[in-house]
Amino acid sequence: MIELKDSDALIVVDVQNDFLPGGALAVPNGDQVVPVLNGYIERFVRAKKLSPLPIFATRDWHPPNHCSFQSQGGPWPPHCISGTFGAQFSPDLKLPKETRVISKATDPNREAYSGFDGTDLEQQLRQLGSQRLFIGGLATDYCVLNTVRDACCLGFEVFLLRDAVRAVNLHPSDEQKALDEMQRLGVRFITLHDLT
């Protein structure tokens, strides 16, 4: 069992309409993470008496001419264009009003899969005194992996929400490769049942 403490933070990665069924870059079964993430959110909200423990939500927030789009020679269909419906968080994701939103990959000429890349996420976490990061969302083999990798490199203790991640699996083994790398980095895999 894991007991949450004041130096913990939750990071919900890219649970946006374009990554959900019917979206421009739908992650297979991506919608299944939403109710589970709501469970984690509830625990982080309730863990502290006055204000919730810190909850971050990252979002892919691309300009219409982003370099990752096929029209610009990149690998992906256009997705998560800032201000569009596809870039909005899932309407079923119950983010509290205190949620800190981190927008990334906003520069047309740079890809940024990690929530730390080109953002002030690390600075905010340091300011809060966060030490353990609980990370889940979409997609296991891209933005979750890169966010987890950076978090480990920056010295945070990382918990992967194993029941609240799904992979794109452009190649069928991508999910397993991502999980193997996270395991090698010393990440602990947990499920909602592990939280008291």
141 scored as a contact of Zn ion (CB under 5 A): no
The 7-46 contact track toward Zn ion, x by CB under 5 A, reads ----------------------------------------
Annotation marks residue 14 as catalytic: yes
- Of residues 191, 194, 168, 189, the one with CA closest to residue 179: 189
Q: In this complex, which beta carbon is closest to ligand VGL, that of residue 143 or of residue 148?
A: 143
34 scored as a contact of ligand VGL (CB under 6 A): no
Contact criterion met (CB below 8 Å) for 158 and 188: yes
Catalytic residue, candidates 8, 60, 141, 143: 143
CA distance 170 to 142: 10
121 scored as a contact of ligand VGL (CB under 6 A): no
76 scored as a contact of ligand VGL (CB under 6 A): yes
Tell me the C-alpha to C-alpha distance, in Å, between residue 6 and each of 3, 9, 54, 80, 117: 10, 8, 9, 32, 25
69 binds, among Zn ion, ligand VGL, none (CB under 5 to 8 A by kind): none
Catalytic residue, candidates 8, 14, 31, 141: 14
Phi-psi region of 132 (alpha: psi -120 to 50; beta: other; left: phi over 0): beta
CA distance 161 to 195: 11
List the one residue from 60, 141, 163, 175 that touches Zn ion (CB under 5 A).
Answer: 60
Q: In this complex, which beta carbon is closest to Zn ion, that of residue 117 or of residue 157?
A: 117
14 scored as a contact of ligand VGL (CB under 6 A): yes
CA distance 12 to 101: 10
